[in-house]
A and B are shown apart, each in its own frame.
Chain A
Amino acid sequence: MLDRLYSRALALAASPHAMWVMAAISFAESSFFPLPPDILHKSSQHLMLTKEEYVRWMRSLQSRGWGVGHWPREYGGLAWSALERFVFEDELGRAGCPWVIPFGVKYVGPVIYTFGTEQQKRRFLAPIVSTDEWWAQGYSEPGAGSDLAGLRTAAERDGDYYIVNGQKCWTTYAQWADWMFCLVRTSRDERVQNGISFLLIDLRSPGVVVNPVRTMDMCHHVNEVWLDNVRVPVENRVGEEGGGWKLAKFLLVNERTYGSGVGESCFALGRLKALAAEMSCGVRSLGEHAAFRRRIDELELRVLVLETVSYQVLTDMLSGREAGAEASMLKIRASEVYQDLIEATVDALGYAGVAYDPQTLHGEGPPLLGPSDAGGILRYHLYNRAATIYGGSTEIQRNIIAKSVLGLPS
């Protein structure tokens, strides 16, 4: 622990925020940290959390103001800088915490306080802060994945309402959500980005149907959401009619930034090392086998590079030197490193890495085979294949860098 603080202090020596960072570290690791231990246990084993547990988790963060620490003070935040926000997420990841459910506090909240009307701010921000309302993200459609602007869900004006028809997919936790922020087409234009509007849809409205879709881990995280003549009050449109693409992009950049997953990778690396030491392989431990040892060492080096690059990007941001697509760069690397880390961890499990029962992933009952977190590791390995697809696939991130940084022709 002291080693880590020391190296982090060195890494951050140039930053005026270093003192705050050190404070955050000691907060996260102190007994004052209000994280419910049952939730930490489940999340560190990659088990499935219930809605109640996630709500309790978000509220425990907000009990210190950390749930919306990155928001401006006038809306209840702590006005964290990008660095502070990064360090906070990093610490949560290192501790094996659940993810901060982003749909309200990271995605739609900032859209509303940046682009919304006073009335919208009054109506929607407080329940986001308190996690009294759960949000879902209505972006992807069957025909609009990488090409998000190709979306077809249509909203037709009918007096003070829009009548919305269409289908959204890969909608995470829509089964728990009260509201969905949604990109819809309000007009047809030669340029597909024009004519998109940003609507807030009450998922209890008549005409909304949420169907579960199981992912590769055979669990239920995502859904398809059907919208059949759903009436949405015009006052629930954020921004101008037809001006939704700007908001959509603002949100996507937020989605990518601050999510480099360094802490999560450190946690996974720690587990991999511990597992390699505890798994026997013949007369020695797996970690004592030269080939596996080297695999771990190479991953550790990649994690170090990811961490160093992440802090370099933040340092550059603080001094106003941004190349423009750092978030894309970090997302590509972080998702790849994590996938390789957890794949190595599954390999270390041997036969326990191929025994699987999704029913055992809720924290009750003994594991099928091997260490108690084997099933969770396997589940997360499978689910995490999506990390290079969601939030803008690796291919799309590379296109962004090619165009916006390298200036390559399309």
Chain B
Amino acid sequence: MNGVAVSDAIAVDDTVSLLRESIERYMSSEHCTFERRWAALKSSRGYNERAWSDYASFGWLALRLPEEMGGLGADSHAVAPLMEAVGARLLLEPILASAIVGTGLVLRRANAAQRARLLPKLAEGSLKLALAHHETLNAFADDELACEYRQGALYGSKLAALHADCADKLIVSARDTSTYGPVGLYLVDAGAPGLHVDAFRLLDGRGAANLHFDAVVAEPLDAPGSRDASRAALAVALEEATVALCREALGAIRALNAATLAYVKTRKQFGRAIGANQALQHRLVETYVLEQEVRAMTLAAERALDAGAADAGAAGAVGAGVAGAGAAGAPGPATNAERMRIISGARAFICDAARRVAAEAVQMHGGIGVSDELDVSHYYRRVMVIGTLFGNREFHFTRFSELGG
């Protein structure tokens, strides 16, 4: 699909411009075609290992790293174009799981030795991370973890951890009332004894796994911080994932709308292009308006996230900028509640909007829209997955509602 724009910059510096250019160049290259994606989908791994090294060589996997480590310093300006490409091109590699969420947690909670060990490997693509957090099918809150950390080992289960099927190491959230407060974050080797990995594919072809921990040796991510630092860092990581998914959805929506528009202009029935029918024109206008709304809400969510990070940085407590964090020096809860409300509101709206755009794309494509051969059905399935990962519409809408007034 052509016309994928990733130029939503508010204020872009040179490094980020270069990143955008490299993403746009890659998306229009022969390495990023639907045919190549088919081959990756059919492979046992479910993604393209060569593509993953390409991403590393473009610097995409290092974009969250501090500049002194060859990164871009990681605010949403850098993450946005990459996540938009993930949606626009239905990328299968663990960008969200590893380069955004996993790397973010390492940056916030790994101690100096862990950072020195993990970050260079993350940047060069030789280490993939996945977050194992959710424990039930339908509850996305992080307050009641059953998974437990006792005397250096993990016990319990995690559900549907994105890309835990291919990750080299997992970051696991678990309860440890003795040392790290109600939530600690632990690093586990994918091949550790006692770890049972039940891998499967999500509807959009990306991998995931259910995990069972039976006395699995784990290493706490234990940068100095308050007792609540890991809980706060996890909350920030989930917010970042939420906002990244908004951007991914925008990429998918733009691609779908472009495809549908092109199709109704060329598909002829009853002697004219089907797009000549006013009944379809009005619906295309509706999906266009949805796209504009989604773009605006995505940008607002990204601003809210950046403002939270800036406040947290100014307060000298990285990762504390989350409601309920309770860390000394964190911004007032009202400010944070407002930010969370924008982010969850954006997410709830975008889940719905993306679903409507995808349904309209299928419907207006007719029979070919429900075939597995055309990418439209792949976007439809991707949108379903986006709508559930790290909190579905019900969850975010409820949070939006509870944070109101």
Contacts and interface: CB of A to CB of B under 8 A. Distances in A.
Interface of A: 140, 143, 145-147, 150, 169-170, 213-216, 218, 279-282, 286, 289, 291-292, 346-357, 368-370, 378, 382-383, 385-386, 388-390, 393-395, 398
A125 B269 CA distance: 35
A320 B256 CA distance: 46
Interface stretch (B12-20, B243-251, B365-373): B365-373
B393 interface: yes
Interface in B348-387: 359, 362-363, 366-367, 369-373, 377, 380-381, 384-385
Interface string B382-401: 00110011001110011001
Given A150-B269, A291-B397, A395 B373 contact: no
30 contacts: A140-B367, A145-B366, A145-B367, A146-B274, A150-B269, A216-B371, A218-B372, A280-B136, A281-B136, A281-B394, A282-B139, A286-B138, A291-B401, A347-B392, A349-B137, A349-B138, A351-B137, A352-B137, A355-B160, A355-B200, A356-B201, A356-B381, A369-B160, A369-B200, A369-B210, A382-B381, A386-B370, A389-B363, A389-B367, A393-B363
Contact of A357 (B137, B200, B381): B200
Interface of B: 134, 136-139, 141, 144, 159-160, 200-204, 208, 210, 268-270, 274, 277, 279-280, 359, 362-363, 366-367, 369-373, 377, 380-381, 384-385, 388-389, 392-394, 397-398, 401
A385 B362 contact: yes
A146 B377 contact: no
Given A214-B373, A389-B363, A350 B270 contact: no
Contacts of A281: 136, 138-139, 394
Nearest to B138: A350
Contact of B366 (A351, A378, A389): A389
B188 to A, nearest CB: 20
The dominant DSSP class at the B interface is mixed
Contact of B203 (A150, A169, A279, A356): A356
Contact of B373 (A140, A213, A352): A213
B202 A354 contact: yes
A352 B139 CA distance: 12
Nearest to A295: B394
Contact of A216 (B202, B277, B380, B388): B380
A354 B137 CA distance: 10
B388 A385 contact: no
Residue from the set B139, B385, B393 with the largest chain A CB neighbour count within 10 Å = B139
Contact of B367 (A170, A279, A356): A170
Nearest to A140: B367
Given A291-B394, A351-B134, A354-B388, A386 B203 contact: no
A379 to B, nearest CB: 10
Residue from the set B138, B270, B274, B380 with the largest chain A CB neighbour count within 10 Å = B138
A355 B381 contact: no
B270 A369 contact: no
Nearest to A290: B398
Residue from the set A214, A350, A354 with the largest chain B CB neighbour count within 10 Å = A354
A219 B202 CA distance: 16
Contacts of B270: 146-147, 150
